[in-house]
Structure 1
Amino acid sequence: MIEATGLTKRYGAKTAVYNLSFQVRPGTVTGFLGPNGSGKSTTMRMILGLDNPTSGRVTIAGHPYRKLPNAPRQVGALLDAKAVHGGRHARNHLLSLAQLSGIPASRVDEVLGVVGLRDVAKKRSNGFSLGMGQRLGIAAALLGDPQVLLFDEPVNGLDPEGILWVRNLMKSLAAEGRTVFVSSHLMSEMALTAEHLIVIGRGQLLADMSVREFIAANSAGFARVRTPETEPEQREKLTSALTEAGGQVLPEQDGALRVTGLPLPRISDLAHDADVRLWELSPHQASLEEAYMRLTQGAVDYRSTADQLGGFQQPQAAGMPPGMAPGMAPPVPVPGQDQPGWYPPPAPQQGGRPNPYAAQQGQPPQAQPPQAQAPEHTAMLRTLPAPQEQQAPEHTAMLRKLPEPQQPQPGQQAQQPQAQPLPPAAEPTKSDDEDATR
């Protein structure tokens, strides 16, 4: 059994858990519920001795976790399924835990079969999916065959078959007389798995009762009544009779009536006395989710708001192309667009440099020399033949060195360019003379 008495935990100025007292009894699945930031994870860490309480105490079988002899053989826990060395095989991970606790290696193969990971026992855990990681964490919790088990979100990442397997596993463990403490945000799954609930909000205890009592205490049941749709006068007659008897009647959207304050036999007698035929008379009770939301609505710290930009998008006008709003000019068609081999020009570069590929409006794009093309098209352009008017690369540097001719001013004669002196010829060497005589 797990027992907490006056449990309090503070982190500086923040109080995560305050004066929390509860008991988790064996033989039943106890659900641990609460909004995000309510202190559930902190409480479970203090139960396992990972955090020291500021005040109060929590014990397992009458002893703090750190004073339990061979604690892994008595307590199994799954708090973080990712707390596994990614380079280890699944079997080696469990084998190392077993060797630290004096558990025989045969138990490793047993729990691998229980959680369904025997076929991937030699696979490294960093290649596991989220659901496979959850199964490996459950296997580690079951390794020592403990009497007390703690699970934090055990069905996270599991498929429907895996969720059903975990549900049946929790029930079977509790049926064996073990203490099973499960934290989860899935209300529908808790309604099917847990028999007892401990609900906290902002670090304080809100409820400690069975699931049935919790729903009854935080919701109001009602009776659903339906009369023939073709006879609306009978519905009005029944509404008057129920109201006079002290019931509260609310119309449903589908035409039925929601009646509160009167038991079903009384509603049936009133309808019989008023000579009203009933097509439906059924009891309805709120779900665990509805009861939970009603209880914890004042303890939620994180609430979403409506999208402030949701109404700024202008409606699409009929006949307008996608992305066009009324008053916008239609885009100018680009020559060659939507034809094979066409691609959009690159965006203009930063720094004010013009884009040589941006065609003027109404003019076809001009061909550019290969060296000026964008890098992604260079390989394509190199395969094209060079234009006739382009100079060879080896003469480009020489032509750039020649001075440009100056235009003569009015009344002046054009100056002839002065010839540049040729460099002196090299004197012939002896080897050159020998070659000449030969």
Structure 2
Amino acid sequence: MIEAVGLTKRYGDKTAVYNLSFQVRPGAVTGFLGPNGSGKSTTMRMILGLDNPTSGTVTIGGHPYRKLPNAPRQVGALLDAKAVHGGRSARNHLLSLAQLSGIPARRVDEVLGVVGLQDVANKRSKGFSLGMGQRLGIAAALLGDPQVLLFDEPVNGLDPEGILWVRNLMKALAAEGRTVFVSSHLMSEMALTADHLIVIGRGQLLADMSVTDFISANSADFARVRTPDTEPQLREKLSSALTEAGGHVLPEQDGALRVTGLPLPRISDIAHEADVRLWELSPHQASLEEAYMRMTQGAVDYRSTADQKAGLQQPLPPGAQPPMPVPGQGQPGWYAPPPPQQGGQPFTAPQGAPYGGQPPAGPYGAPGAAPAGQPNPYAQPAAPAAPVAAPAAPAQPAAPPAQPAAAAPQAAPAAPAPLTDAEPKSEDAR
């Protein structure tokens, strides 16, 4: 088991990880999610003893990595698949690692067969594709038959068959009782592979819960209702009836209605009472990607201006915002971080956001719900009202949403000056 308590790492005045606490238990695949620059790689390096934490501790089986006897036979890791001498063959690379760790040489051919590189075992690794390099890195992680495995983007560069193979490998390793910790940006793959999620943003814990609970806590389920396209008056009639019954109705681009606040049987009864025929009545549950985007949208450092104009999701109707749980509360090892200390600038959560403290119960009646009268920091901004008169000038893109206090805006790089005849040109420019 991997356990981190109050883990903090600072590089000068930059705080990469702040007061991070979590547990990775055996017998399950634990996904490690977060935006670019959130501190995932730094956390994994501290777990493996490659970086020393500024404060806090992280242990594997109750001991720091550096104090584990013959650590390569207890912990396997893939952090950088390119960390291979290009002049060595795949077999010689693994053989050198085996000799350093006292692992029998016969194990090299075993793991080459597991990852499917037995036919290229004697080829130099500098000629390997990105996917082949990933397979070689996974083979190195499996070399000592360890009980704890860490993988950073293990499916990067793999084809669909390779991705399926990695997914099945992770599940098989966890089914054997091993601890499997996987970092990835592929939400669709994590939804199929992971049993538990640890999500961080700007170095702080955002969520520590199962995949099912994470999706449920960070999304609003709704029903899709569709009436005959040839009778638009029925659509308006049903929309009015659902609104009067306490539902919230939003139009979809394909002509259907998105309804929240009413269960499917009640929607069916209302349509029957209004004498409205239905072509579709189906439930919708958010994907892991939708839930992840809603959770982390306030912790993204690098954002395209097009995202702010188009939006990532349609805004939810008033009163339909999902409750915001206190991340990790109730889970073993949950840790409420104290106020920031001097010497760094950790991420400051928006007011009302559940980073390390439990807000009062809101109108949803659940701990961690948004307090009454306060905005939900994860909610998408409401669509702007239609202007009274057409503006004289073309509309400008919407201003970017306010970032947390400690998140300094990135300065736009200056455009390079064009080359002139008076300036010397490079070989490429000529």
| Shorter-chain TM-score above 0.5 | yes
1:138 is paired with a residue of what secondary structure? helix
Partner SS for 1:17: strand
Partner-residue secondary structure (3-state), 1:250: strand
1:46-85 alignment to 2 at 5 Å? 46-85=46-85
**Alignment partner, residue 248 of structure 2:** 248
Could you tell me how far 1:254 is from its partner in structure 2? Answer: 1.1
Mapped partners of 1:8, 1:151: distance in 2: 21
SS, match of residue 18 in structure 1: strand
Amino acid corresponding to residue 45 of structure 1 in structure 2? R
What is residue 417 of structure 1 aligned with on the other side? Answer: none
For 1:293-340, what per-residue CA distance to the aligned partner results, in whole angstroms no more than 9, with x for missing partners? 111111111122369xxxxxxxxxxxxxxxxxxxxxxxxxxxxxxxxx
> Does 1:278 find its partner at 2:268?
no
Structure 1: runs of 5+ lacking an equivalent = 308-349, 352-438
Match of 1:176 in 2: 176
Matched with 1:114 is 114
Partner Cα distance (1:18, 1:251) in 2:
42
Amino acid across the alignment from 1:174 = A
Take 1:129 and 1:199, find their aligned partners in 2: how far apart are those partners? 31
> What does residue 258 of structure 1 align with?
258
User: Structure 1: how far apart are the matches of 2:244 and 2:76?
Assistant: 59
Whole-Å Cα distance in 2 between the matches of residues 130 and 236 of structure 1?
54
In 1, distance between residues paired with 2:236 and 2:213? 35
1:191 to partner: Cα distance: 1.0
Instruction: Give per-residue Cα distances to partners, 1:215-241, cap 9 Å, x unaligned.
Output: 111111110001112222222221121
State the distance in 2 between where 1:131 and 1:232 align.
52
SS state at 1:298 partner: helix
Inter-partner Cα distance in structure 2 for 1:306 and 1:210: 32
State whether structure 2 residue 9 is matched by structure 1 residue 9. yes
Q: Which runs of structure 2 are paired with 1:98-247 in the superposition (5 Å)? A: 98-247=98-247
Corresponding letter in the other structure for 1:56: G
Counterpart of 1:73, as a letter, is R
TM normalised by structure 2 equals 0.70
Give the secondary-structure state (helix, strand or coil) at the position aligned to 1:149. Answer: strand
Distance verdict in 2 for CA 1:41–1:161, change over 3 Å = same
1:9-40 Cα deviation digits (max 9, x unpaired):
11111111000000001111111011111110
1:306 and 1:187 map into 2 onto residues whose CA distance is 21
Q: Which stretch has the larger CA shift, 186-195 or 71-80? A: 186-195
Within-5 A mapping of 1:300-379: 300-305=300-305
Counterpart of 2:304, as a letter, is: S
Q: What is the number of equivalent residue pairs in this alignment? A: 309
In structure 2, do the counterparts of structure 1 residues 218 and 155 end up closer, same or farther at CA, with 3 Å as the change threshold? same
Asked which structure has the greater CA Rg, the reply is 1
Distance 1:304 1:76, change over 3 A: same
Evaluate the alpha carbon distance shift between residue 126 and residue 182 of structure 1 in structure 2; reply closer, same or farther with a 3 A threshold. same
Alpha-carbon distance between aligned partners in 2 of 1:213 and 1:265, rounded to the nearest angstrom: 24
CA deviation vs aligned residue, 1:131-176 (integer Å, no higher than 9, x gap)? 0000000000000111100000001111111111111111111111
Q: How does 1:340-419 map to 2 (within 5 A)?
A: none
Q: 1:105 to 1:184 in 2, by over 3 A?
A: same
**For residues 253 and 50 of structure 1, what CA distance do their matches in structure 2 show?**
51
SS of corresponding position for 1:297: helix
Q: How does 1:283-294 map to 2 (within 5 A)?
A: 283-294=283-294
CA distance in 2, matches of 1:240, 1:88: 71
1:122 alignment partner, SS class: coil
Give the Cα–Cα distance (whole angstroms) in 1 for the partners of residues 303 and 226 of structure 2.
37
Cα distance in 1 for residues equivalent to 2:11 and 2:252:
49
SS in 1 for 2:188: helix
Corresponding position of 1:94: 94
Report the counterpart of residue 370 of structure 2 in structure 1.
none
TM normalised by structure 1 equals 0.69
Distance across 2 between alignment mates of 1:305 and 1:177: 45
User: Where has structure 1 moved over 3 Å in runs of 4 or more?
Assistant: none
Match of residue 378 from structure 1: none
| Residue identity matched to 2:276 | V
What amino acid maps onto 1:252 in structure 2?
Answer: E
Aligned partner letter, 1:98: A
Which amino acid letter does the alignment assign opposite residue 250 of structure 1? L
RMSD: 1.3
How many Å separate the matches in 2 of 1:108 and 1:264?
Answer: 57
d(CA) in 1 for partners of 2:306 and 2:145? 49
Secondary structure at the aligned position of 1:87 is classed as coil
C-alpha displacement of 1:252: 1.1
Indicate the SS of the match to 1:225: strand
How many angstroms apart in 2 are the aligned matches of 1:79 and 1:254?
A: 44
Q: Which amino acid is 1:35 matched to?
A: P
**5+ long unaligned stretches in structure 2:** 308-420, 423-430
In terms of mean alpha carbon deviation, does 84-93 or 273-282 score higher?
273-282
Moved more, 265-274 or 133-142: 265-274
